[in-house]
Amino acid sequence: MSQAFTDIEKKTVAVTDTPPVYAGFWIRAVAFIIDSVIISIPATLLSIPLFGYGFFHLMPYIDEFNRTQTVSPEMAAAMSLFGFIILLVQIFSLLLFWLYYAILESSAKQASWGKQLLELHVTDEYGQRISFGRATGRTFAKIISYVILYIGFMMAGWTKEKCALHDFIAGTRVVKNNK
């Protein structure tokens, strides 16, 4: 046999008599709310002290600005620090969002903690576990749904296989556990 064929990973696809039960909009929305609460905890724990630190450095210059209507170099530096803190928190939040979904949905459990609580999991179009790369693409494709006023998420309510826009883009499905 050719070396090229021996290097190819063999995948076993389970065939069952029962078709998958796709998770619709509302159950996915509940899972999303649970995940949002979970993700917000570490983001908030980081944000509060950082914003407090930046605001503490900015406060002394607020009265000065109200009196003089000018921005001193010190105030400009404090404003820059506060802007940097905002940027840092946004980058941390984006990394947290990405890693939370990509790691958990490509794991053996195939689901974020919100989906696990509701007995859902993410698969490819053949019912198999997705890779970290595909989970990453799926996660960042959600940004499109945010930009178009969540319409991409709502698609899970009216498409045949209950696919949201990011599922179409990534070639994934969210299914209920058949136990």
pTM of the model: 0.83
The 10s digit of each residue's pLDDT in 100-144 is 999 999 999 999 999 999 999 999 999 999 999 999 999 999 999
Average pLDDT rounded to a whole number, residues 62-79: 84
Whole-angstrom Cα distance, residue 102 to residue 66?
Answer: 47
Average pLDDT of the chain, as a whole number: 89
The better pLDDT of the pair 57, 114 is held by 114
In DSSP terms, 22 is beta-bridged to 175
Handedness of CA 46, 48, 53, 55 (dihedral sign): positive
Q: What is the pLDDT of residue 9?
A: 52
Q: Compute the C-alpha angle 138/20/136, nearest 5°.
A: 10
User: Do 127 and 175 contact (CB within 8 A), yes or no?
Assistant: yes
User: What local confidence, expressed as pLDDT, does residue 127 receive?
Assistant: 92
pLDDT of amino acid 167: 97
Comparison of pLDDT for 16 and 127, the residue scoring more: 127
**Range in 74-78, 148-152, 160-164 with the lowest mean pLDDT:** 74-78
- The amino acid at 70: T
What integer is the mean pLDDT of 82-103? 95
Q: Is 121 helix (H, G, I), strand (E, B) or coil?
A: strand
**pLDDT tens-digit map of 146-156:** 999 999 999 99
**Each residue of 36-52: pLDDT tens digit?**
999 999 999 999 999 88
Show Cβ contacts of residue 142 under 8 Å, excluding neighbours closer than 6 positions.
101, 152, 153, 166
Q: Is the pLDDT of residue 7 over 60?
A: no
